[in-house]
Structure 1
Amino acid sequence: MRTIITIALALAAVPLAAQDRSAFETGPVLTEFGPHAPVPGIGQLPEGTEFAVAFDVSTPAEEGKANRGFESAARFLNMQVAHGVKEENIRIAVVVHGKASLELLTDAAYAEKPATEGAENPSRALVEALLEHDVRFILCGQSAAVYGITPDKLIPGVEMALSAMTAHALLQQNGYTVNPF
């Protein structure tokens, strides 16, 4: 009986693994990042809509891929602009701590770390693209201390805070909500 249940569960999971992503597209802001799909019945958002959203990212990227948390920020930006929100009405901050901290390093600094020795930072292009669109990246200073990261090793434009907790508290005081995804 357990074998039958296991087989049934495995077969039920197959459609999840083979999800159709053909409806997803990038843009209109970032053409290489942030794929999103149209949702039937969802049109333009009300004129004057504004967002101030903080993303909390501590999970590192899968090997050789850009960080999914950073990609979520790109998707958020693309989705909102695609639905009529003016880009200048969207404030996004990505607060990074824990093992994801290494993904804010320049390629040279990334390649020097024992865990990533010789590799290029697969998140660098995404971080740079988001920075070009005024997305803030804030590194936890406590995580930086743990991983031996100094400001000169960061991708230009990345900020450092005393801690991730401090960054979130300050962002909340400035009207940011925390995105739970």
Structure 2
Amino acid sequence: MKIYAAMASAALILAPPASAQDMSVFRTGPVFTDFGPHAPVEGIGEVPADTEFSVAFDVAEGAEDGKRNRAIESAARFINMHVAHGVPEENLRIEVVVHGKAVLDLLGPEGWAAHGKEGDNPSAAMIRQMLDHGVRFIVCGQSSAAQGVSEAELIAGTETALSAMTAFALLQQRGYTVNPF
């Protein structure tokens, strides 16, 4: 029995991590060239050009120290991959509802410094580019209050709602689906 346990332990140690991924096929663009990587998928053809998406992304987890917020980048990936597969950019209505600790990833330079963070906000340039492309960022007012973030500290162009719950309810009434990642 001990030999089987030793073999199982050795197999676990030598096996590649389950989370190991081959990212070599992923590319950015065509909308965002510095972020939002996606992979081509063979055999599916293009998504019909008259396809329209109204999608709200739910972002609650903050970024890892020194990195961009991955959940926010998922919204950029959604845009890149669908435009790359034939959906006109103007047919994509994307809203990012930010709550919890992720509110800190929407801090502008003064707010970033005021909250004791060094350097530049790693997510700021990405968020600004997304705002320039019509992505709407809605900040949960309740989370802002809990994190001690004032509206003046946020990246220009973001909007504040009473709560994330309120924002999602209103977006769903307008026909948006909720993407939980």
Specify the TM-score bucket, using the shorter chain as the normaliser: over 0.9
Residue 160 (structure 2) aligns with: 160
Deviations 1:26-75 (A, max 9, x none): 11111111010101112211121000001101111111110000110000
Query: Take 2:83 and 2:24, find their aligned partners in 1: how far apart are those partners?
Result: 20
- TM-score normalised by the chain length of structure 2: 0.93
Q: Say whether 1:27 aligns with 2:29.
A: yes
CA RMSD of aligned residues (A): 1.4
Q: Following superposition of structure 1 onto structure 2, how do residues 26-175 of structure 1 map, counting pairs within 5 Å?
A: 26-114=28-116, 116=117, 118-175=118-175
Q: Say whether 1:4 aligns with 2:3.
A: no
Partner SS, residue 15 of structure 2: helix
Q: How far off is 1:15 after superposition? A: 6.8
Query: Take 1:2 and 1:161, find their aligned partners in 2: how far apart are those partners?
Result: 55
Deviations 1:116-144 (A, max 9, x none): 2x332110011001101100111100000
Q: How far off is 1:10 after superposition? A: 3.5
Residue 13 (structure 1) aligns with: 16
- TM-score normalised by the chain length of structure 1: 0.93
The one-letter code of the counterpart of 2:67 is K
The answer as to whether partners of 1:105 and 1:154 remain within 8 angstroms in 2 is: yes
The one-letter code of the counterpart of 1:147 is Q
Choose 8-17 or 91-100, whichever is displaced more: 8-17
The answer as to whether partners of 1:111 and 1:121 remain within 8 angstroms in 2 is: no
Partner SS, residue 166 of structure 1: helix
Query: Take 2:84 and 2:40, find their aligned partners in 1: how far apart are those partners?
Result: 9
Query: Take 2:18 and 2:142, find their aligned partners in 1: how far apart are those partners?
Result: 42
Query: Take 2:13 and 2:129, find their aligned partners in 1: how far apart are those partners?
Result: 39
The one-letter code of the counterpart of 1:8 is A
Q: Detail structure 1 runs of 4+ shifted over 6 Å in the superposition.
A: none
Describe the shift of the 1:6–1:153 C-alpha distance in structure 2 as closer, same or farther (beyond 3 A).
same
**Percent of pairs identical after alignment?**
60
Q: How far off is 1:16 after superposition? A: 4.0
The answer as to whether partners of 1:108 and 1:120 remain within 8 angstroms in 2 is: no
Query: Take 1:111 and 1:16, find their aligned partners in 2: how far apart are those partners?
Result: 34
Structure 1: gaps spanning 5 or more residues: none
**Count, aligned residues:** 178
The one-letter code of the counterpart of 2:82 is Q
